Amino acid sequence: MKIFPAIDIKNKKCVRLLKGNFDNQTIYDQSPYDQALKYKEAGLFNLHIVDLDGALSGELVNLSIIENIIKRLDISIEIGGGIRSIDKIKAYVDIGVDKVILGSAAIKDPNFLRQACETFEEKIALGLDVWKGKLSVSGWKETTNQTAEDYLKEVNSYGFSRVIYTDIDRDGTKTEPNIKETLNIAKISSVPVIVSGGVSSIEDIKKIKMLNQFNIEGVIVGKAIYDGDINLNELKKLENA
């Protein structure tokens, strides 16, 4: 199982949002680079990064920060946030990003998702962010009328290499992940699925680790690390167990 420590970047700082609310954020002292270094030193080499500035603006605001992390630390990164064109995907692929996460742009225009998957083979991850059962877009500020299941059935053959399922209502809350709905997505998905949102403890990680036979590839862990609820060394041991 892969464990993805999370780094959300806003105004060049690490932050965590509560349920995706930009007005309810916790700002941490560590720079994104220093936080990534801490993860690498603990032996965790897969990072989940979200450019929150990009999610709001549609621009690659923190491209240089992400490039610096990749070049200096040589770790695997999946990146999301405001990626709405082929050129922006290429910019990330060119600096060595492992997976580019498409969310809002892919949901609003499935043909864009298809084109991206065809152009960048094995480089595209599909982000399904859900609020109260419906897909959310535009930095989680808009909720659609479409379920994640219905959308995934529509695009399942397009060629993305990973699905990231986030329950927004649990994101940043440390109330435990929505395993039931993630498993429903995993049953449908043609590719492995990542659990995201609500992880609170090592016990949550252990439960997810037992689901690898159900098309669950890994888990994203954010606030529980920053708040000290999960020890990085213990996390690494569990990843290798």
Residues marked active site are found at 8, 129
Query: CA end-to-end span of the chain, whole Å?
Result: 9
Q: Would you call 129 helix, strand, or coil by DSSP? A: strand
And the tokens for 47? 């990072």
Q: Which amino acid belongs to residue 15?
A: V
Sign of CA pseudo-dihedral 58, 61, 64, 68: negative
Q: Would you call 193 helix, strand, or coil by DSSP? A: strand
Q: Please give the sequence-ordered ranges of beta strands (E in DSSP) within the chain, or none if there are none.
A: 2-10, 13-18, 21-27, 46-51, 76-80, 99-102, 124-131, 134-137, 142-143, 162-167, 193-196, 216-221
